[in-house]
Amino acid sequence: MKKVGYLGPAGTFSEQAASRYTSNEYVELLPFQTIVDVLDGLDSGMIDKGVVQIENTIDGSINLTLDRITQSADLFVQGEITLSITQCLLGIPGAKISDIREVWSIPPAIAQCRSFIKKIGATVKHFESTASAAEEAKKSGRTDVGAVASAWAANRIGLQILADQIQDTAVNHTRFVVVTKGKEPLDFPDKTMLLIIPCQEYKGALANILNIFSVLNLNLTWIESRPTKTRLGTYQFYLDVEAGETDECMSKALSILGMLGHKIRVLGIYKASKPV
């Protein structure tokens, strides 16, 4: 039986994403304490796949995921699942919104609900996951503590929903990627994730790179810059391209980029997902 890791404990959005992605497979879902732990477990052979968040509508890209995937030459993105995120305020049975003085959750979830938290006048406390915050809130027995988590977590952990749809933006999605160790064959992929390190720093370097994709009519659905960690002011770029690696225009783009001296790494080839 294949083992699939996710950011735990049980009740996280990551567990929900992993469960949906593997719904037609016979697998064992294993929780890990952090995103980095999931990918470390994959690198060491402890698990066969890892499901980790990479991007959120409100909070942007998840740098921990990008940096850890890049660190290993063996990690490869083979799939994605985009989950509609509805943040809820959870409390122990009997708690009321008017009683809440502290809100506990993972930093991205707190960031997605800043306006609501400010409105109720609560302070915040950070945890490793939404579900761990919910678990600790239940263990505390405190009626003045609420956790930002999902309805899924409420059902799994045994808390009541004090308020739902508390995120700042009504349309809120998190994109998760399915990572494997080594490249696995996939039929009819329509998306490629690239890491591009410019050959040198010069004015318009990124614009020139992006223009290659534009001229070849290749749509980019995601662009993110991260420091190269070699010198201040130098950056590498992550791109999602709506084309498989063997697509004729994609092949031309990669060839041109290589001829210009840019370093290119294909981080993933997979099928695009629709929000669920």
CATH of domain 191-270: 3.30.70.260
Fold type of domain 88-163: D-Maltodextrin-Binding Protein; domain 2 (3.40.190)
Domain ranges of the chain: 2-85+172-181, 88-163, 191-270
pTM of the shown model: 0.83
Q: Helix (H, G, I), strand (E, B), or coil: what is residue 16?
A: helix
Q: Which two tokens stand for residue 126?
A: 């950070």
What secondary structure does DSSP assign to 196-211, as a single string? EE-SS--TTHHHHHHH
Pairwise CA distance, residues 110 & 245, whole Å: 37
Pairwise CA distance, residues 108 & 62, whole Å: 9
Q: Whose structure tokens read 């009997």?
A: 94
Pairwise CA distance, residues 113 & 135, whole Å: 19
Its CATH class, for the domain covering 2-85+172-181, is alpha beta
Residue 274's pLDDT is 75
Domains 2-85+172-181 and 88-163 share a fold: yes
Per-residue pLDDT of the chain (276 residues; tens, 9 = 90+): 899 999 988 888 899 899 988 887 888 999 998 999 999 999 999 999 999 999 988 778 999 999 999 999 999 999 999 988 889 999 999 999 999 999 999 888 898 899 999 999 999 999 988 989 999 999 999 999 999 999 989 998 999 999 999 998 878 889 999 999 988 878 788 999 999 998 877 677 888 899 999 999 999 999 999 888 887 878 889 999 999 988 999 999 999 999 999 999 999 999 988 766
Residue 230's pLDDT is 80
